[in-house]
Amino acid sequence: MKRQNVRKLILIISLLLFPVTIYYFSPAIIIMGALEGIINGSFCVFALMLIGSIFFGRLFCSYLCPMGGLQECTGLINNKTPKLGSRNRIKYVIWVIWMVAVILSFILRKSPLKLDFFYLTDHGISIANIYSYIIYYGIICLVLVPAIIGGKRAFCHYICWMAPFMVIGNRIGRKCRIKRVKLIGDKDLCVGCKQCDKKCPMGIEVSEKVQNHDMHDDECILCGECIDGCPKKAIRYDFK
Ligand code: SF4
Ligand code: SF4
């Protein structure tokens, strides 16, 4: 099976499991736990995202994220690519406000810290009662509406509260020159057809990056669409 088909299949499986896993990605559940002094599943998942992205960049976004899977489906409705611009900074504003709320909640907690990975779940399952569906469909709408109006991965571009963790981790990996997954472009093989630009769901001008010999971009989710779309095989993954 082709790489992009495998990637999309994994994303769709992750989307199907979203009713089970949603509380482990929840920006609200981490605050609720923090107020009670509980380090819960979402805290651990976000910490793992930060550490993992030092070595794997934003591979989680392109290969594992259930919300990525949902946006692959909305591509059937609106397939245009949002342009990179100042609106991409909205997610950082959301992230900073949220982080302040999480830190304050831990500071103001009334109980000593303890670990409960399955906090508020039923035997590890997030959506186990009728009220949880309100949260579930709320999050689905939060992803669905921007993607239908704004196009490919609009939620990742403008809203995602998880992306900044991975942008920070990716930058740490790059700054410390740690062995990590990244893209490499070969300027000599490139014929400037710009197929990679058309394929990129994150609106990155990939061909320009190939010419500049620097493939790094905070918005790159390492999906490999540019690699598989390049007729000259001028782009590849690297782990050095
Ligand atoms: S698709 Fe390949 S050959 Fe075409 S512009 Fe991009 S890197 Fe160059
Ligand atoms: S630059 Fe390539 S790997 Fe990165 S998001 Fe765009 S298409 Fe995917």
Phi, psi torsion values for 202, nearest 5 degrees: -100, 10
Sequence-distant (6+) residues with CB within 8 A of 213 are 185, 187
Specify the ligand 1 atom closest to the Cα of 191: 3
10-29 pLDDT, tens per residue? Answer: 999 999 999 999 999 999 99
The phi-psi region of residue 212 (left if phi > 0; otherwise alpha if psi is between -120 and 50; otherwise beta) is alpha
Predicted model pTM: 0.92
Q: Which string of DSSP letters, residue by residue, matches 92-145?
A: HHHHHHHHHHHHHHHHT-SS--EEETTTTSBTTBS--STTHHHHHHHHHHHHHH
Lookup: tokens for 164: 């900044």
Average pLDDT of the residues in 215-239: 97
Specify the range with the lowest mean pLDDT, choosing from 36-45, 56-65, 130-139, 197-206: 130-139
The CB of 34 under 6 Å from ligand 1? The reply is no
Q: What is the pLDDT of residues 64-84, one digit of tens each?
A: 999 999 999 998 999 998 887
Cβ atoms of residues 59 and 131 within 8 Å: no
**CB-ligand 2 contact for 202 (6 Å cutoff):** yes
Q: Take atom 2 of ligand 2 and give the residue whose Cα is closest.
A: 226
- Six-digit token string for 34: 């923090």
Q: Where are the alpha helices (DSSP H) in the chain?
A: 3-16, 18-21, 27-35, 41-56, 59-63, 66-74, 90-107, 132-150, 154-158, 163-175, 195-199, 206-212, 225-229
Is residue 234 lining ligand 1, measured as CB closer than 6 Å? yes
Q: Measure 81 CA to ligand 2 centroid, in angstroms.
A: 12
Q: Ligand 2, residue 235: give the atom nearest the CA.
A: 2
Q: Is 184 in the pocket of ligand 1 (CB under 6 A)?
A: no
Residue 28 CB contacts under 8 Å (≥ 6 apart), including other chains? 135
Q: Which domains does the chain have, with CATH numbers?
A: 2-173 (no CATH), 179-239 (3.30.70.20)
| Geometric angle at alpha carbon 22, from 148 and 133, rounded to 5° | 75
Whether the predicted pLDDT of 1 surpasses 80: no
Q: Which atom of ligand 1 is nearest to the CA of 195?
A: 1
Strand partners, 38: 114
Q: What is the per-residue pLDDT for 86?
A: 82
